[in-house]
């Protein structure tokens, strides 16, 4: 946050997007449980609550303009899709066809419900450097 504050011009804005520690589908816990199977496909990315981002931004002298959550697609579906794409076994491809489409439809529906936005896979904050 300090670096963002340093490089922004007065009145400049930055959008910061990080993994949500408290997401609806418990992605950080899922990663911990599956890390040995997933390490060939993805790497660990830290997760943070939205309030922590706001706190860090304000400590750096930035003004939080907007905040929220995005992406309610369960990470397990994304991992299944990635695994199926890379391994291509017929059974896996069949499961992929059955799971991915309905999951995307469910995610699009859930994203329209404002009270669920803070439970998305990622948190975001839009910050502005004071003039």
> What is the DSSP track for 65-78?
EEEEEE--S-HHHH
Torsion angle, alpha carbons of 112, 116, 122, 127, to 10: 80
Is the separation of the CB atoms in 85 and 77 below 8 Å? no
Dihedral sign for Cα atoms in the order 121, 40, 46, 22: positive
Q: What is the pLDDT of residue 64?
A: 96
> What are 66-113's pLDDT values in tens digits?
988 777 666 666 666 676 666 666 766 676 677 667 777 777 777 777
Residue owning tokens 């491809």: 93
pLDDT at residue 93, as a whole number: 67
Contacts of 126 (CB under 8 A, 6+ apart): 13, 14, 15, 16, 64, 65, 66, 67
Tell me the per-residue pLDDT of 5-41, one tens digit each, with 9 for 90 and over: 999 999 999 999 888 887 776 766 766 776 676 666 6
- What are 17's strand-pairing partners? 124
């Amino acid at each position: 946050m300090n670096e963002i504050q340093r490089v922004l011009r007065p009145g400049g804005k930055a959008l910061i997007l990080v993994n949500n520690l408290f997401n609806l589908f418990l992605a950080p816990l899922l990663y911990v449980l599956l890390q040995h199977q997933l390490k060939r496909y993805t790497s660990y990315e830290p997760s943070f609550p939205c309030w922590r981002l706001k706190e860090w931004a304000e400590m750096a002298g930035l003004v939080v303009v907007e905040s929220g959550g995005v992406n309610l697609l369960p990470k397990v579906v994304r991992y299944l899709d990635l695994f199926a794409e890379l391994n291509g076994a017929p059974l896996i491809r069949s499961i992929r066809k059955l799971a991915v489409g309905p999951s995307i439809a469910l995610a699009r529906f859930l994203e329209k419900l404002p009270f669920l936005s803070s439970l998305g896979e990622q948190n975001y904050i839009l910050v502005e450097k004071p003039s």
